[in-house]
Structure 1
Amino acid sequence: MPAPRLRINGFQQPWSRDQVALMSGEVCITAIFLCGFYIDGKSDQEAGEAGMEQESMLGAVPLITYAAILLTRILIYVDLGLHDPSVGGLDFPCIKGRKFEDRYCGQCKKMVPGLDHHCSWLNTCIGSSNYGRFLAVVTLGIIIHLVHLIYGVYMLFVSEEGSWAGWWGCLGLSAIFVPSITTLFCFHVYLLWVGMGTYDWMLTRRAARWDYDKKAKNNKANDMQASSQASSQASSQTSSSARKNSTTAVAPAPP
Structure 2
Amino acid sequence: MAPWALLSPGVLVRTGHTVLTWGITLVLFLHDTELRQWEEQGELLLPLTFLFLVLGSLLLYLAVSLMDPGYVNTQPQPQEEAKEEQTAMVPPAIALRRCRFCLVLQPLRARHCRDCRRCVRRYDHHCPWMENCVGERNHPLFVAYLALQLAVLLWGLHLAWSGLHFFQPWGVWLRSSGLLFATFLLLFLFSLVVGLLLASHLYLVASNTTTWEFISSHRIAYLRQRPGNPFDHGLTRNLAHFFCGWPLRSWDILRAEEVEEGGSSQDI
When the two structures are superposed, what TM-score results if normalisation uses the length of structure 2?
Answer: 0.55
Q: Is residue 77 of structure 1 aligned with residue 85 of structure 2?
A: no
Aligned residue for 2:42? 57
The alignment-based identity, stated in percent, is: 25
Instruction: Please say if residues 100 and 115 of structure 1, whose CA atoms lie closer than 8 Å, have aligned partners that are also in contact.
Output: no
SS at match of 2:68: coil
Q: Tell me by how many angstroms 1:26 deviates.
A: 6.1
SS at match of 2:69: coil
Instruction: Please say if residues 60 and 141 of structure 2, whose CA atoms lie closer than 8 Å, have aligned partners that are also in contact.
Output: yes
SS at match of 2:32: helix
Instruction: Give, in whole Å, the separation in 2 of the partners of 1:199 and 1:102.
Output: 10
Structure 2 unaligned regions, length at least 5: 73-106, 225-268
Aligned residue for 1:31? 23
Aligned residue for 2:87? none
Structure 1 unaligned regions, length at least 5: 1-10, 46-51, 89-98, 211-255
Give the one of 106, 109, 113 matched to 2:117. Answer: 109
Instruction: Give, in whole Å, the separation in 1 of the partners of 2:149 and 2:6.
Output: 23
CA distance 1:177–1:39, shift in 2 (3 Å): closer
Instruction: Please say if residues 145 and 177 of structure 1, whose CA atoms lie closer than 8 Å, have aligned partners that are also in contact.
Output: yes
Aligned residue for 1:135? 143
Q: How many residues align?
A: 176
Alignment RMSD (CA, Å) = 3.7
SS at match of 1:118: strand
Q: Tell me by how many angstroms 1:205 deviates.
A: 6.8
When the two structures are superposed, what TM-score results if normalisation uses the length of structure 1?
Answer: 0.57
Aligned residue for 1:174? 187
Give the one of 183, 186, 195 matched to 2:196. Answer: 183
Instruction: Please say if residues 25 and 173 of structure 1, whose CA atoms lie closer than 8 Å, have aligned partners that are also in contact.
Output: no
Q: Tell me by how many angstroms 1:136 deviates.
A: 1.8
Instruction: Give, in whole Å, the separation in 1 of the partners of 2:42 and 2:166.
Output: 20
Q: What are the within-5 Å matches in structure 2 for residues 11-26 of structure 1? A: 14-15=8-9, 20=13, 24=16
Larger Rg: 1
Aligned residue for 1:146? 154
Q: Is residue 199 of structure 1 aligned with residue 185 of structure 2?
A: no
Q: Which runs of 4+ in 1 moved over 4 A?
A: 157-160
Q: Tell me by how many angstroms 1:150 deviates.
A: 0.6
Instruction: Please say if residues 32 and 166 of structure 1, whose CA atoms lie closer than 8 Å, have aligned partners that are also in contact.
Output: no
Q: Tell me by how many angstroms 1:158 deviates.
A: 8.7
Instruction: Give, in whole Å, the separation in 1 of the partners of 2:15 and 2:150.
Output: 15
SS at match of 1:147: helix
Q: Tell me by how many angstroms 1:149 deviates.
A: 0.9
Q: Tell me by how many angstroms 1:155 deviates.
A: 1.6
